[in-house]
Structure formats: structure tokens, C-alpha cells
Amino acid sequence: MITFKISTEPVQQFATILNDRRVTLLLRYSVTTDRWSLDLSIDDLPVLVGRRIVTGIDLLEPFDFGIGMLVAAPIKAGAKPTREDLPNGNVKLFHLLPEELSA
């Protein structure tokens, strides 16, 4: 499992290896919606743009990219991925492989 440490910067990028693939995540904060969105590239090819980060679901499940799951989980009850709650850790962004979820 990987936990992404989100800062207060409104645009931030992460590069990592997920399930043997080179993955780049670009997070953007929107003042209008008070939420974060995600752009995803796999092996330097953009595959997902503007996916809104919400809690409690696998953000990648509908797309079958083969890199595992990306989940925003509330650590504090009722927390949403807002400007404050995602950077301060009330909501955390996790990458998991299916076998990690069952364990």
C-alpha cells in the first residue's frame, strides 16, 4: 500500500511505479467546487483527465488500467477531500493492489 502525502499546493504531481507500470498522478484543486481532481498517465500516456476525487470508492475501477486501486478514505468521520481535509490528513489518498485489500 502507498499513501500519497498531499500538500497545500493547488497543483501537484507524483510519479511512481504501480504494478510494474510507470504512473504519474497530477492533482488539481478547484476553488469553484472545493474539491481535488486527478489526471493520470501510464507509461507517459495520458489515460484519465479530471477525475473528481471522492471518498469511499476505487477511483480507477471503471477503467481497468491494471495498476490496482486508488482510494480516498476519510480518516476523520465525515471528512471530504476539500482544500483543508486532503492536505491535513483528515482524508488520505491510498494506492492498493487487490491482494492488499483482502488482507
The model's pLDDT over 41-81, given as tens digits with 9 standing for 90+, comes to 999 999 999 999 999 999 999 998 999 999 999 999 999 99
Residue with cell 492536505: 87
6 alpha-carbon distance from chain centroid: 10
1: confidence class by pLDDT, cuts 50, 70, 90: confident
pTM of the model: 0.87
From CA 14, how far away is CA 76, in angstroms rounded? Answer: 24
| Residue 77 and residue 57 in contact, taking contact as beta carbons nearer than 8 Å | no
**β-bridge mates for residue 50, sequence order:** none
**Within a 10 A sphere around the Cβ of 10, how many other Cβ atoms?**
12
Domain ranges of the chain: 2-102
81 alpha-carbon distance from chain centroid: 10
Share of residues in the chain with pLDDT > 70 (%)? 97
